[in-house]
Amino acid sequence: MKVVSLFSGAGGMDRGFIRAGHTIIWANDKSRDACASYEENLHIKPLCEDIKKVEKFPPADIVVGCNPCQGFSMIGSRNPDDSRNYLYKEILRCVLQVKPKFFVIENVKGLRSLYAGRFFSLIINDFAAAGYNVTWRLLNAKDYGVPQDRERIFIVGVRKDLDFEYHFPDKTHDPMRLPYVTLRKAIGHLPAPKKGEYWDHNRFSFFYMSRNRRRPWNRVSFTIQASGRHAPLHPSSPPMKRISVDRWIFTGKIQNYRRLSIKECALIQTFDDTDKFMGSLGSQYVQVGNAVPPLLAQRIAEAFNVSVPSERPALKCAHLDLEPLVSQR
């Protein structure tokens, strides 16, 4: 099916949909570095513009969107007046205009509990009022072959006139199925990174030292975050030791502790081995950490690969041009 992608970033979600056989016909992000990475790796040129200035979206079967999560994150300020909280309305605007068969939205699990769940209910109700049957699920990426603990909410909408019920994919990995993909399997083959390929400042903040940051080779990684200085430690680092509530210490020399490189983070996120990321090292960490793991996105997308009813004629779009109209405001 044809897919329109919003808040595309470096293309993690879109890479997964492509792997599942779908076609990205249009993508958008306002980050210059992320757009450059997207074009480099997916060979699709996204519109690099603030989505609020986009007036027209092309016809599509599916709309996907991963709006910024900082306003919902459990480690952020969770400010109810954060303007980023309401960027989901740009996805809603696109859905109302395009009337796709389906939409998929991804965000952090903190969205579910924000303001005692009232904000999450608002989002669900807004998309239901737009004419969609809406379902959601909290998924952990490690259960689908991604070598990291990463819990995220996925919201899926099915247009109400379609005789179709979306079912989230079954787990593929757990103690009763396939074994989890470990750090050794994901990055054990990589050589030591060169200077400039990892965050090599030997400064670790109080927040960083408030929890364990090192997983051993035979386990999955901690969540890959959108920050080089908060990247998990490489499993070759010595163990950390907990000495009190929210306080851990290093048990070896500080120079023996190394954060995961950008390449290691990208492979743990299940990007392709050949993918490259543009911009400064800090920007690359942001792009990789913000992305939906392509393998998890692929599993989400494959659940659409069944017999789907055709779009009813009354909803066919009159315009055929795919170029977006960008306002000058």
Strands (E), the chain: 2-6, 23-29, 47-48, 62-65, 102-108, 132-140, 151-159, 240-244, 247-250
Catalytic residue among 35, 69, 94, 265: 69
Distance of CA 205 to the CA centre of its chain: 25
- Secondary element (H or E) of residue 262: helix 262-268
Residue 212 contacts residue 242 (beta carbons within 8 Å): yes
Please confirm, yes or no, whether 69 is among the known catalytic residues: yes
Helix ranges, 65-215 (H): 88-98, 110-113, 118-129, 183-187
Query: Cα angle at 137 between 168 and 78, to 5 degrees?
Result: 150
The answer to whether 171 and 110 have CB atoms below 8 angstroms apart is no
Q: CA Rg, the chain, in Å?
A: 20
Catalytic residue set: 69
